[in-house]
Each structure stands twice: as C-alpha cells, then as structure tokens.
C-alpha cells in the first residue's frame, strides 16, 4: 500500500502507528485498573473497613512508567490534543491581552468599566506577615512560645487575636498564594513572572503579581518555611522562582518531581504519594516545647503533569491539606477535575476544613477541560463535600488560557454564592489583598492597606 511512498513518510506512519498503539494500550490498562478496583471495593466493602477501601480505590498508579488517573470521569488526552490545545492557548492569550482585557463592560454606578479594572491589585499587609514571622523566630531562639498566645490589641481589627490563632492569606495569581499560620510561612505553586514561557513567546500575564520575590523575603523575614507544589505545569511552577529560592526552604512535591529539582542542585525536596502524611514540625523546630504538630497530607486530584509532550505524566499531580494538631486548616487543591466519589472520600477523611483554595477557571471548552479543571459550580459542590468553612476561588484572571471570558469565573461564583446565602464565606479573593482568619472565632477580616 505504501510502496510508492518515500522512506520518511513510511517512518512517520510507523511512528504514528506505534504511538497510537501505545495510547490504546494505556487506555485499556487504565480501564481495567479502574474496573478491578471497583469490583474489589464492591466485593469486600461489607466485610472490611470501608474507609480503608476508599483509600485503596484511589491510590496512585503507574502503567508503563506513566502515572494514570484511577477515576471513571477522567478522559486522557493524546499528544495531538496536547499540541492543539497549546496552540489554542497561545491564541487565547493574544486575544485576552489585546482585546478582551480592554473591553468595556456595563456598570450600574459609573456607566462602563474596563475588564482590567476588575483585575486591579491591592497592597498586601507585608508588615503583619513580617512581625508574626519575627515573633515566631524569636520564640524559637529563646525556646519560649508564650508570645504566640499573648493577645495584642489592634485598633484596626477592633479585637484581640493572638498570633497562634492567626491565619493570613494572600492571592498572588493563578494558584500561587502566600499564607501563614502562627508565624509559619507557606508559598503554593509559585509563579511570579509576567510570562509563562518567555517574554517573546508568552503567554502573557493579565495582571502582574502583587508580590515580588523580594516582597516575599521581606514578609517572611527571610524565612520561607515551606513551598507546596501540586504539579509541574508552567502556570504552577516557575523555574526562575525555583532558582531564586533554591535550598532556602523545604519543597514538598508529588512523586517523580524531585529529580527536576536535583538536576538544578536543589536537594531539600520531599516527595509525597497520594494519602501520604508528613509531619513537618521537625522542619520548623526540634524543640520539644513547641506547642503544635503541623502535618501535610497529600490527597488525590484528577489532573495530569508535564511541561512538554515527552515528559507527560512522568510525575504525579496532587492536592495538599495542611493540618495543625489534627485539624485541617488549609486545602490547596492545585488543579483538578470533578469526581464526586473522590471528594466524598477527601471530605470523610479530612473534613471539616477551615480554608479551601479551589480553582474556578479554565473550564472551556468543556470537551477538553472538564476532566482536568472544575467550574465554579463544581467548586461549590466540593465545598459542601469537604465541609469547608471558608473558600477562595482562585486560578482565574491571571492568564487567558481557555475559552471562557476572563471575568466569567468570578461573576459565576459571586452569583451562585449569593443565591446560596454563602457570599460572606465563599468568595473570589482580590489580587494582593491580605485576609486574616481568626481560627478561634471563625471570622474573616480583610486587611486593606492604604
């Protein structure tokens, strides 16, 4: 059939055939993995601990050296889809920055506003972060932690909130956040630059990061304790930031990602598998008088990994839940599609949760995005399933990488929460604005800095 065609054509057809056969193999093996786990669950759930079986059903798994999603709702993408979507993202970015960002919108108060006016940044309360960091560092130096529990009257807050009961949170864009609990500092999915790849190639950021790397160093008093990386996509892990932080923090990453750091000479990296629980207290202090036990639990998400076609799914993807003394305080979801059964399990094992950081953007076109990203409606379902007190809808308005209008995730979530009567606890955060959570009173306070 191909006798009249040249050698290069024949080689190309052969490679495509091999690749297609490999994709079919992965798909069939994954299908049987899911079915076998489902059958095992049904067979033994009446005679075993159902909670343990949930764990077994959603353990991570590899096929032919690649991680796969053990969820019925997931549809894997091929290399052809990967390349097509990257091209679509480039055009979405050009359109978003050139036209949509400057689009005039009706406003009941002023007549019209620009989209970019809705993406404005606020000044973070860096001083509060820094003061709390310094007090904890002084406590560690003196082996005396009484200062963490001393109430300090603040004229702005009009209440007494000791450092031990303070959770500070600031959104820097996409899934990059800075949060602090009792003076311990965490950065998630770091990305601070204005471009995902290069200034010449893009995609370009819609809103600049409200914090620079130097700002983060100042806020943490040069003590960024932990960085949590959910997966290695460029919009969740900027290697320029990695090279700046290097071994000055503890990196907590999913399986398979450590080697990328090792190649850069970064060795303070801890890999976690789904359902692993890590006691991080020993990385804060070895002092037996320290009043708390901090833990990170790695929980499953429905997504994928890889920065290029050739490294697709060679490392795991995940979400993290930070616990203090057994209480779930922060749920950093990273990226995930929606699986009802998965979030029922997470809620059963880890709920209730104080603050859930859930992605609400990049859900169009649904034929590609639905298995990999959640919508605002699905984010609210997750809130109910994991019993979160507060939720911040992030992963939108930073880059234009998908088909939905820039402000649609924000507007959808705002409308839905208003109808549910939850608009005071489930919100879209403002860029750069620092939110303070009183962990004792379950209150949220916005810290506006002039």
> Of 57, 73, 90, at which residue does a domain stop?
57
In order of 5, 21, 23, 66, 260, the CA distances from 63 in angstroms are 35, 14, 11, 5, 21
- Is 113 inside any structural domain? no
- Is 76 inside any structural domain? no
CA 61 to chain CA centroid, Å, is: 21
Half-sphere exposure of 110 (CA within 13 A, CB side): 6
Instruction: Identify the three-state secondary structure at position 248.
Output: coil
Number of domains in the chain: 2
- Is 144 inside any structural domain? yes
Query: What tens digit of pLDDT does each residue of 63-114 get?
Result: 999 999 999 999 988 878 888 888 888 889 888 888 888 887 776 555 567 7
CATH of the domain at 270: 3.60.15.10
Same domain, 390 and 275: yes
380 has pLDDT over 80: yes
- Is 267 inside any structural domain? yes
16-42: buried (b, 16+ CB within 10 Å) or exposed (e) per residue? eeeeeeeeeebeeebeeebeebeeebe
Could you tell me which of 232, 128, 174, 216 has the C-alpha nearest to residue 357?
Answer: 174
Rounded Cα–Cα distance for residues 349 and 200 (Å)? 46
Same domain, 212 and 304: yes
Strands 176-181 and 61-63 come out as unpaired
- Is 105 inside any structural domain? no
Same domain, 51 and 141: no
- Is 97 inside any structural domain? no
- Is 418 inside any structural domain? yes
Q: Which range of residues forms the domain containing residue 33? A: 7-57
Alpha-carbon torsion, ordered 346, 352, 357, 358, to 10 deg: 50
Q: Work out the average pLDDT over 176-200.
A: 93
Q: What are phi and psi of 172, to 5 degrees?
A: -105, 0
Same domain, 241 and 377: yes
- Is 200 inside any structural domain? yes
Same domain, 17 and 141: no
155 has pLDDT over 50: no
Residues in the chain, how many? 450
Rounded Cα–Cα distance for residues 2 and 171 (Å)? 57
pLDDT band at 9 (very low <50, low <70, confident <90, very high): low
Rounded Cα–Cα distance for residues 431 and 447 (Å)? 12
Same domain, 52 and 134: no
Q: Is the bond preceding 203 in cis, omega lying within 30 degrees of 0?
A: yes
Same domain, 246 and 329: yes
Same domain, 51 and 123: no
pLDDT band at 272 (very low <50, low <70, confident <90, very high): very high
Quote the tokens at residue 218: 């100042």
Strands 226-228 and 202-204 come out as unpaired
Same domain, 35 and 162: no
How confident is the model at residue 232, as a pLDDT?
A: 97
């Amino acid at each position: 059939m191909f006798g009249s065609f040249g050698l290069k054509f024949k080689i190309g057809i052969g490679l495509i055939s091999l690749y297609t056969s490999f994709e079919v193999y992965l798909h069939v093996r994954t299908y049987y993995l899911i079915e076998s786990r489902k059958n095992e669950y049904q067979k033994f759930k009446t005679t075993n601990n159902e909670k343990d079986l949930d764990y077994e059903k959603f353990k991570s798994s590899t096929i032919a050296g690649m991680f796969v999603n053990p969820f019925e709702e997931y549809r894997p993408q091929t290399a052809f889809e990967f390349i097509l979507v990257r091209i679509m993202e480039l055009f979405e970015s050009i359109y978003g920055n050139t036209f949509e960002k400057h689009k005039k919108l009706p406003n009941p108060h002023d007549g019209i506003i620009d989209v970019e006016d809705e993406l404005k940044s606020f000044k973070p309360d860096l001083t509060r972060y820094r003061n709390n960091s310094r007090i904890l560092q002084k406590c560690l130096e003196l082996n005396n932690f009484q200062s963490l529990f001393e109430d300090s009257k603040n004229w702005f807050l009009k209440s007494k909130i000791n450092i031990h009961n303070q959770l500070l949170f600031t959104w820097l864009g996409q899934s990059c956040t800075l949060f602090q609990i009792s003076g311990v500092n965490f950065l998630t999915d770091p990305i601070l630059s204005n471009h995902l790849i290069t200034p010449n190639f893009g995609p370009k950021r819609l809103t600049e990061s409200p914090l620079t790397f130097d700002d983060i160093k100042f806020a943490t008093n040069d003590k960024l304790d932990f960085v949590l990386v959910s997966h290695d996509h460029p919009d969740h892990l900027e290697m320029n930031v990695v090279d700046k932080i290097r071994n000055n923090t503890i990196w907590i990453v999913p399986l398979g990602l450590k080697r990328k750091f090792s190649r850069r000479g970064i060795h303070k990296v801890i890999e976690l598998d789904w359902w692993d629980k890590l006691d991080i207290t020993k990385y804060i202090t070895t002092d037996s008088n320290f009043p708390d036990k901090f833990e990170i639990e790695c929980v499953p998400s429905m997504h994928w990994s890889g920065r290029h076609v050739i490294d697709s799914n060679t490392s795991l993807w995940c979400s993290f839940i930070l616990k203090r003394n057994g209480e779930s305080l922060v749920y950093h979801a990273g990226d995930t599609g929606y699986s009802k059964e998965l979030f029922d399990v997470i809620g059963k094992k880890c709920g209730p949760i104080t603050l859930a950081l859930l992605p609400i953007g990049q859900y169009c076109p649904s034929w590609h995005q639905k298995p990999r990203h959640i919508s605002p409606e699905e984010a609210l379902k997750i809130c109910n399933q994991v019993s979160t007190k507060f939720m911040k809808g992030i992963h939108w308005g930073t880059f234009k990488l998908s088909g939905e209008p820039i402000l649609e995730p924000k507007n959808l979530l705002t409308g839905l929460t208003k109808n549910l009567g939850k608009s005071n606890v489930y919100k879209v955060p403002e860029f750069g604005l620092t939110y303070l959570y009183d962990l004792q009173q379950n209150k949220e306070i916005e810290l506006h800095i002039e």
